[in-house]
Amino acid sequence: MELDFLATVLLSSLSSASILLIATLGLAVVYGLMGVINLAHGEFIMVGAYSALTATQIGLPFLLAIPFAVVTTMIIGAVVELLIIRKLYGRLFDTMLATWGLGMVFNQVAILLFGTVSPGIGMPQWSFKVGDYSLAVYPILMIFVAAVMLAFIYLLMTHTVYGMKARASIQQPQMAQAIGIDSSRVNTMTFAIGSGLAGLAGAILLPIIPATPSMGLFFAVKGFLTVVVAGPVTLTGSALAALGLGGGASVTASFMTSVVGDVFFFLVTAILLWLYPMGISAKWRRKL
């Protein structure tokens, strides 16, 4: 096998893993810090994608459309937390059911608002060459974006008052309340941040994955499996799981067929969950 092929496989697999991680981080934050499985996560990504699309259509440059999408999804997330999630604390299955239904509502609202086909914004037509192989720049850029998102969440959780309160609320809920942390307000914030991260994913991946009402489905399954495999240490766990599962599947697909790549993803997930029922990070001593 030629060296240039190996190099492109490595780069594009890293990019695949990063895309998976970008789409998963919001879910991981909400699950890790609130214990809530948000089955509408894919639809929040969709909302982010349509927000960014709408922003570009009214003339905003793409770089400004991204923060617009983040703010929109954060507001929607906060409202959803106040109206629905808050009533269902500690009822894992009820929350799953409620958010699943919410996802269906979002999906149908998107169809009513935007119809079934909307013009995409296209991918920047930049490419570079590695030996004989040509690679599109934008997907490779996602490696950098994923790294920045990871660093941002890490700093948010470790170096801000909100982050400390959020971690206290999930690790020692009674103690946190006893010392005066308003855990419900912290939770609203956490859910809004999780939604905002989903919105960011939808917006920044828009050139790669065009906005369609049902696009949430593409991310839902693999995103959830990644978070479940990651386990309680949200950030490091998710990054590692995305790298192993997403990157591994991409490498497999490059050398064999795309179907085998998918089989790899699901098979390795099954094996990991069999070996580590609570996720790979269950016994780690890290907290993030």
Partner 1 sequence: MNKLLAALSLTTALTMTTSAAFAEVKIGAIFDLSGGLNIYGIQQDQALDLAVASINEAGGVNGEDIVVVGYDAQSELSKYTQFAQTAVLRDGISAMFAGLTSSSREALRPILREANIPYFYSSLYEGGACDRNTFVTGSSASQQLSILMKWAVENYGPRVYIMAPDYNFGTISGYWIHKYAEELGAEVVGEDYLPLSMTDYAPTIQKIQAAKPDVVVAIPVGSAQTGFLEQFAAAGLKEDIGLISTNYGSGNQQIVVSPQAGEGYMSVMNYFPSASGETNAKFLAAWEEAYGTDTPVVTGSVDVWNAVHLWAAAANQAGTTDTDEVIAALQSGISYEAPNGTVTLEPGSHHLRQNMYIARGNANNGFDIVETFTDTAPTFENEICNLVDNPDVVEHFTPEN
Size of the site for partner 1 (CB under 8 A): 51
Q: Assess 262 for contact with partner 1 (CB under 8 A).
A: yes
19 lines the binding site for partner 1 (CB under 8 A):
yes
Residue ranges with strand state E in the chain? 127-130, 133-136
Query: Would you say 33 and 190 are in contact if contact means Cβ atoms under 8 Å apart?
Result: yes
Q: Which of 217, 228, 273, 288 binds partner 1 (CB under 8 A)?
A: 217
Which pair of tokens denotes residue 287?
């907290």
Report phi then psi at 180, rounded to 5. 95, 20
Question: Within positions 235 to 254, which residues make up the interface with partner 1, using CB under 8 A?
Answer: 246, 249-250, 253-254
- The 8-class DSSP code of residue 245 comes to I
Query: By C-beta, is 16 or 226 nearer to partner 1?
Result: 16
Residue 271 as a binder of partner 1 (CB under 8 A): the answer is: no
- Residue from 35, 210, 236, 248 touching partner 1 (CB under 8 A): that is 210
Q: Which is nearer to partner 1, 111 or 147 (CB)?
A: 111
Count of beta carbons in the 10 Å neighbourhood of residue 234: 26
Q: Which of 119, 158, 270, 284 binds partner 1 (CB under 8 A)?
A: 119
Instruction: Give the nearer residue to partner 1 in terms of CB position, either 66 or 206.
Output: 206
Q: How far apart are CA 80 and CA 97, in angstroms?
A: 14
- Smallest separation (angstroms) from partner 1 to the CB of 60: 17
194 Cβ partners below 8 Å, 6+ apart? 26, 27, 29, 30, 34, 38, 41, 77
Using CA atoms in the order 112, 118, 124, 130, what is the torsion angle rounded to 10 degrees? 90
Please tell me whether residue 268 binds partner 1 under the rule CB under 8 A.
no
Task: Report how far apart, in Å, the C-alpha atoms of 99 and of each of 20, 37, 80, 137 are.
Answer: 21, 8, 9, 35
- Is position 134 an interface residue for partner 1 (rule: CB under 8 A)? yes
Return d(Cα 111, Cα 209) in angstroms, integer. 17
**Which region among 115-123, 150-158, 189-197, 230-238 touches partner 1 (by CB under 8 A)?**
115-123
Interface residue list for partner 1 (CB under 8 A) = 5, 8-9, 12-13, 15-16, 19, 108, 111, 115-127, 132-139, 207-210, 212, 214-215, 217-218, 221, 246, 249-250, 253-254, 257-259, 261-262
